[in-house]
Each structure stands twice: as structure tokens, then as C-alpha cells.
Amino acid sequence: MTISNEAIEAAYAAHLGHKSVRSPDNAKEAIRTALEAAAPIIRAECLEEAADAWGPTGTATWLRARAVAERADT
């Protein structure tokens, strides 16, 4: 899986709101914040890929519904 531009943009937007990343502690916090911002998008994309792999089944429908819920959290 490739991380989408949408996830990278969410991570970057979270980073913009963060204080200076010059110190190691601030850099770790900035990375954590960025990953937290991108996580729901990445989870949704994984769920969508899994649904595509399952094809038209009840499981795929559930996976797509979970993906929509994950995206709602962003």
C-alpha cells in the first residue's frame, strides 16, 4: 500500500500547527501528531483495499462501512 496524498496532507496540516521541531523532543511530538492525523485516512484506505479484495460480499460491505466511519473521524 502507498500512503495517499490525502494522508500526507493531513499529517502536514497537523505539523503546521505544531511548535518548532528543532529539538528531538519537539520532533518526536510533531511526528506523533502527524501520524495521529493521518491514521484514520490510512486505516480507511486499508479497509477499502480489503473490501476490493473480498469482492461483492457481506464482508466487503462491512469493510466499506468501517472505511466510511474512519473517514468521518478526520
The identity of residue 42, as a single letter, is: I
pLDDT at 50: 95
What is the value of pTM for the model shown?
0.70
Q: Residues 6 or more apart from 59 whose CB is under 8 A from it?
A: 51
Residue keyed to cell 492525523: 37
Q: Would you state the cell numbers that stand for residue 33, as one nine-digit string? A: 501528531
pLDDT at 17: 60
Our measurement of the distance from residue 45's CA atom to the centroid of its chain's CA atoms, rounded to an integer in Å, reads: 8
Instruction: Mark the ranges of the chain whose per-residue pLDDT is less than 70.
Output: 1, 15-25, 27, 74
pLDDT at 25: 67
pLDDT at 67: 96
Query: Rounded distance, CA 31 to CA 18, Å?
Result: 10
Domain layout of the chain by residue ranges = 39-74
Length of the chain: 74
